[in-house]
Amino acid sequence: MTAAERCGIYTAFNQKYWDRYGARFVAMSEALSPRPAQLIVVTEVEAEFPDWWTVVRFWDDRVWPAFDKALDYATTEWVMLCGVDEQFDPDFFADLPLAGDVVNVSGRWGNGNACYGTPSQWMNLLDLGHNGMPGLQMIRLEVQRKYPQRLHKWRDWISWAELRWHGVQASFDTRQKFVWCYEPGQTSFEADRAAEMEILCFISDLKTGRVIPGPEWPALLKPKE
């Protein structure tokens, strides 16, 4: 099977985000060649969507539970969360390298600079003090279900840290085949020192071995021995 036949992507959006990015996302998805085996959207927006999309009628104003709802409908071996604002190159799925349990998919920031993690940043992630794994996350569905993403605005950093702690095998796609849209008004755009400190405390808890995998935030902890 090709990489495209093994992969699915999923997103969620409300009316505000659809009005801002929807037309571009449709055009982008229709231009993909090859297309992924599945594209799941979770929304209550009433619109005409491409007939090859899987549309799940659900919403939660906390946003992230809507993204997670998509996993109930995922059928592919590999899955990737993306924002409706993301922009993939048409050949994103052509020769996408799938190895290990999770792939750090490199891309470009809106200014053209590269956006990616490295093997060194991955190995030292729990001691960096920042998210050393920018880029998208293509992950085996079974691994995503074992280690769900947390209900936090910077869930990507948290997810990478948790996967690193549990010894998940990471690989790296260095092709830079997408643009990471990062604009004012988006959920995770503004600086947030309190949210950053929450994650650093979470990583400290990870190192104790007491963090219980799950979507909960704050994370549930095993009792101290």
Q: pTM higher than 0.85, yes or no?
A: yes
pLDDT digits (tens, 9 = 90+) for 143-196: 999 999 999 989 999 999 999 999 999 999 999 999 988 766 665 557 789 999
pLDDT digits (tens, 9 = 90+) for 22-60: 999 999 999 999 999 999 999 999 999 999 999 999 999
Question: What's the mean pLDDT when you consider all of the chain?
Answer: 95
- Residue of 168, 50, 43 lying closest to 159 (CA atoms): 168
Give the number of C-alpha atoms closer than 13 A to the C-alpha of residue 47, restricted to the C-beta side.
20
Q: In a 3-state reduction of DSSP, which class is residue 165?
A: helix
Cα–Cα distance measured from residue 90 to residue 109, given in angstroms and rounded to the nearest whole number: 17
- Residue of 133, 128, 96 lying closest to 118 (CA atoms): 133
User: Which residues, in sequence order, are bridge partners of residue 42?
Assistant: 12, 56
Is pLDDT above 80 for 20? yes
- Identify the pLDDT of residue 188: 58
Which domains does the chain possess? 3-208 (3.90.550.10)
Cα–Cα distance measured from residue 145 to residue 171, given in angstroms and rounded to the nearest whole number: 19
